[in-house]
Homo-oligomer: A and B are copies of this chain.
Amino acid sequence: MTEETKTATTTISKTRLEILFDGVFAIAMTILVLEIKTPELSDRHSISEMAQALREQVGTIFSYLLSFTVLGIMWYRHNYLYRHFHRITAGMFALHILMLASAAFFPFCAALMGRYPTNLLTMVIYSGCIMIYNWASLASWLVAKRTDSFSPDFAPSTYHRIWRRTLRGGIVLTILFFMCIFNAWTR
């Protein structure tokens, strides 16, 4: 068995993981809207009644926009990582599943944020979900380095730049996460 054949039998298709990844993000983004409920009006023509019903959902609509943006940023950042991968090993796949599980869990976090934005536990869960995504992302970057899975033309400077940026994000999110926990605890 040549080296190339061996590689082919121990890694998965990069294109297909891309479709799965983009698919999960597209769905997670789109089902956010299911949290915004159609109001029940007693007078079908009443503008003021509908305006009132929508005002009650202003938190959910704000959470929709925020969470859509957060998922958009997650997806955007994944682009910068993913393009440098030459192959996807089993370890990198496992970490991608963890990333996807966080992203697919996000509509629930968004629903909590929409309904209970002032509850401190909401902030813990919301920031925790993003934090897990970010650390899994960093870990997949690390594993790619360990298993030598980068493209041949990959510059070490790029490695360090993305590493620093993702690490910085991870640290900020972790501090935020523990501040939320601390706040929730001492309340």
Using CB atoms and an 8 Å cutoff, list the residues of chain A in contact with chain B: 1, 5, 8-9, 12-13, 16, 18-20, 22-36, 38, 41, 44-47, 50-51, 54, 64-65, 68-69, 72, 75-76, 79-80, 83, 90, 93-94, 97, 100-101, 104-105, 107-108, 111-112, 115-116, 118-122, 155, 158, 184, 187
* B93 near A76: Cβ-Cβ < 8 Å: yes
Interface SS, A side: helix
* B24 near A187: Cβ-Cβ < 8 Å: no
* A47 near B97: Cβ-Cβ < 8 Å: no
With known contacts A38-B111, A119-B45, A120-B47, A31–B31 Cβ distance under 8 A: yes
In the bound complex, residues from chain B placing their C-beta under 8 Å from that of A94 are: 72
With known contacts A24-B30, A68-B101, A47–B13 Cβ distance under 8 A: no
